[in-house]
């Protein structure tokens, strides 16, 4: 299975959002109604990707997920660099182990938006560091479900 366009995801059912980082995977989810995306957890990536994917698949199975929205870290000019290539490689690794539709969502500035929201919420620097990746994943997923809702 290849990655798909956002509007080709199944029309109903829960989605999982992923903020792919070099050391962590921020994970968020929404319910079947696709109203609000919420942070779930941050999965630390080790030397081997397998254990991280095992945890991701546990979350997918627990939530009966029908698709994934993965952040695509584009450069500010819209071009793809090494981080985007890494996100695409992660998607290929996920699809090699499980047949699940994956759509990409531009994630430019999602981490800085999450950071601003947490600063406004008066979270300590240490607490922000714990939550930033999952919060960025929630912003990525929320952007996608808002786009899907507005297209209907």
Mean pLDDT computed over 6-23: 94
Q: According to the model, what pLDDT value does residue 39 have?
A: 95
CA nearest neighbour of 138 among 24, 36, 35, 5: 36
> What rounded mean pLDDT belongs to the chain?
88
Q: According to the model, what pLDDT value does residue 3 have?
A: 86
Q: What is the pLDDT of residues 70-128, one digit of tens each?
A: 999 888 888 888 999 999 999 999 999 999 999 999 886 556 666 666 566 665 666 65
Helices (H) and strands (E) in the chain, counts: 4, 5
Quick one: DSSP state of residue 6?
Answer: G
Query: Where are the chain's structural domains?
Result: 3-109+137-151
CB 103 within 8 A of CB 5: yes
Give the count of beta carbons closer than 10 Å to the beta carbon of residue 57. 15
CATH superfamily of 3-109+137-151: YqgF/RNase H-like domain (3.30.420.140)
């Amino acid at each position: 299975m290849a990655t798909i366009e956002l509007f080709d995801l199944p029309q109903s059912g829960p989605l999982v959002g992923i903020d792919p980082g070099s050391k962590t995977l921020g994970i968020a989810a929404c319910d079947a109604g696709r109203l609000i995306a919420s942070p779930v957890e941050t999965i630390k990536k080790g030397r081997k990707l397998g254990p991280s994917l095992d945890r991701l698949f546990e979350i997918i199975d627990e939530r009966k997920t029908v698709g994934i929205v993965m952040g695509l870290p584009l450069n500010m000019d819209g071009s793809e660099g090494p981080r985007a290539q890494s996100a695409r490689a992660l998607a290929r690794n996920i699809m090699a182990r499980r047949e699940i539709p994956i759509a990409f969502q531009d994630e430019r500035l999602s981490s800085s938006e999450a950071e601003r929201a947490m600063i406004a919420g008066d979270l300590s620097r240490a607490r922000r560091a714990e939550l930033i990746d999952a919060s960025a994943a929630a912003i990525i997923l929320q952007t996608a479900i808002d786009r899907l809702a507005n297209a209907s």
